[in-house]
Amino acid sequence: VQIKGLYGIEIDRSDINDVNLVDIMPAVIRKTNGFDCGNILKGNFLLQGGVKAKLYVNAGKPPFIEITTQEGLIILNQGNPERTAALFQSLLHD
């Protein structure tokens, strides 16, 4: 999985421990190093419960894909429910 851009990352499939599709994202407490413009969140954030996560989301356009790796939690979406669901299915089956 590759996310391009200033805060981009690359995740090897072998590093993925779990993948879930959720309708509600944990509350964002604060940005630690990233981009925050309204609903667009990219980079490193602190979430409710003290969870550190990398976010690549349009927070106003659920659902969200939660990817758990050895390095931590990554949450992303495509800003479109159908595209997000299709990406989730490809992560499960590829």
Does pLDDT of 58 surpass 90? yes
Q: What angle do CA 33, 82, 24 make, to 5 degrees?
A: 50
Q: Looking at residue 49, what DSSP letter applies?
A: G
Mean pLDDT value of segment 63-87: 96
Rounded Cα gap, residues 88 and 94, in angstroms: 10
Mean pLDDT value of segment 58-77: 96
Does pLDDT of 94 surpass 70? no
- pLDDT tens by residue, 4-55: 988 999 999 899 999 999 999 999 999 999 999 999 999 999 999 999 999 9
Rounded Cα gap, residues 29 and 48, in angstroms: 6
